[in-house]
Every structure is written in C-alpha cells, then in structure tokens.
Amino acid sequence: MIAPSILSADFARLADEVAAVRGADWLHVDVMDAHFVPNLTIGLPVVEALRKVTDIPLDCHLMIDDPDTWAVRYAEAGVHNVTVHVEAAEDPVKIAKDLRAAGALAGLSVKPNTPLEPYVELLRHYDTLLVMSVEPGFGGQRFIPDVLEKVRAARRLVDSGELTVLVEIDGGINEETIERAAEAGVDCFVAGSAVYGAPDPAKTVAQLRRLAAGASGRS
Ligand code: DX5
Ligand code: ZN
C-alpha cells in the first residue's frame, strides 16, 4: 500500500492535491503541534474538510503532545487509521480502545531511536505500527536505514502470529529506498516529497507500488 503524505503538497490547493494522487491506498495527514515536534501543520478542522473531498481513507499521524485527549476526535471525524506516538501517549491501551470503539484503526508510532521490544505487548491492542525512518517533524529528510531492523522484527512477530499489526514506514521513502523497506517487510509506505515533488504524482504512486511489490516477495 502507498500512502502519499500531503505534508509536501501545496496547502493552498489541498483538494486539487488530493485529486492528484488518485489510486493511492491511504492519504497520510501529518498533524504537528509545535510541541512534540518543532513544526506546526494542520489539525482537526482541515482533516474534517479533507474527509469531505475524498474517498481515499485518511491516515492521520499525530505528532502531538496530548494524543490521550485528541486522538479519538480524529476517529470520530471519520479518519480510517489514527496513529499516536508511543513517546507521547500517557495511556496507550485506553487510546487504542477508544479509537477502535469510534470505528477507526489504532496506530502506534515509534521514532527512529525508540526500541520496539518494550512495546510488543502493547502492540496487541493496535492495528498498525508506524516505524519512523526520519526524525518526525519535516518532509524531505534522508532515510535512516537502521530502522529496518525494527521492521524485520515486527515482520517476524506478525508472520509468527504473535502480532497482527500492519507495518507502515514513514520518512525518506522514494524510488531509491522503497525496495529495501519492502524487502524488510513493510506493508504500507508513506511518501511525501517523492510523490508531490514528482511531475505526475499519481504515476509516481503507481511506480512506487510496482517497485515495492517487486521487492517484497509477498502478495
Ligand atoms: C515527517 C512526516 C512524514 C513526511 C514524510 O515527520 O511524518 O510523513 O511527510 O516526508 P518524506 O516522504 O518527504 O520524507
Ligand atoms: Zn507522517
């Protein structure tokens, strides 16, 4: 699955930019609060507006200090997958339960230097695991290959039946890096600058999907 990140889109023309990634599996929306990360982007009102102009399932990545209060509001707004950061969540089990009760998938994200092992039990409550392959906060950064160890570990846990999460990766994914991530076992690839920096975003989504499918060795 390919999830273009609108962080690299033209925010003055969001509806057109969403239409430009026709065929995308999910639409990745980066919510930043200038506290959990240094950058500030968009919040609930824009997500609600996006929901009205597209049928592409929304994938909201909350880079905010207080997901315990806010995450469920995104689920109630009709977001398909709501991801919170484990580094920010006070009661991540309750967040997951609330998200699922509101009809969304529950996603948990780890920053590049956050290990996976302490959270394996917690991930039983979650539907998606978002492995950050850049420090969260900005688009257009370089892919950090070391995080693929975490992807491999997650893949093993899923393949052995211990976990049922979908493995998502975010940061620095492009035509040069996507195959390595696919080989490591990623299911869903977020790509911002690679998609919106291309002359034909929809074509780039299709090309990224082809490369990932060719490298994954899984159906
Ligand atoms: C970064 C965001 C990413 C960002 C990825 O904090 O979470 O979703 O848009 O951008 P690229 O694909 O350009 O690295
Ligand atoms: Zn993101």
109 forms bridges with which residues in the sheet? Answer: 85, 130
Whole-angstrom Cα distance, residue 207 to residue 160? 30
Residue to mutate, 8, 29, 147, ligand 1, most ligand atoms under 8 Å from C-beta? 8
Strand locations in 122-177 (E): 128-132, 166-170
State if residue 140 touches ligand 1 by the CB under 6 angstroms criterion.
yes
Specify the CATH architecture of the domain 2-216.
Alpha-Beta Barrel (3.20)
Residue to mutate, 189, 193, 196, ligand 1, most ligand atoms under 8 Å from C-beta? 193
pLDDT band at 217 (very low <50, low <70, confident <90, very high): confident
Scanning the chain, the segments in alpha helix (DSSP H) are: 14-19, 44-53, 67-76, 92-101, 148-159, 178-184, 193-196, 201-216
Dihedral sign for Cα atoms in the order 193, 194, 198, 200: negative
Give residue-wise pLDDT tens across range 43-85: 999 999 999 999 999 999 999 999 999 999 999 999 999 999 9
Which strands form 128-132's sheet, in the order they lie side by side? 2-4, 188-191, 166-170, 128-132, 105-110, 81-85, 58-63, 27-32
pLDDT band at 9 (very low <50, low <70, confident <90, very high): very high
Q: What is the mean pLDDT of the chain?
A: 98
Give residue-wise pLDDT tens across range 122-135: 999 999 999 999 99
What pLDDT score does 72 carry? 98
Residue 5's closest CA among 30, 37, 42, 23?
30
What pLDDT score does 139 carry? 98
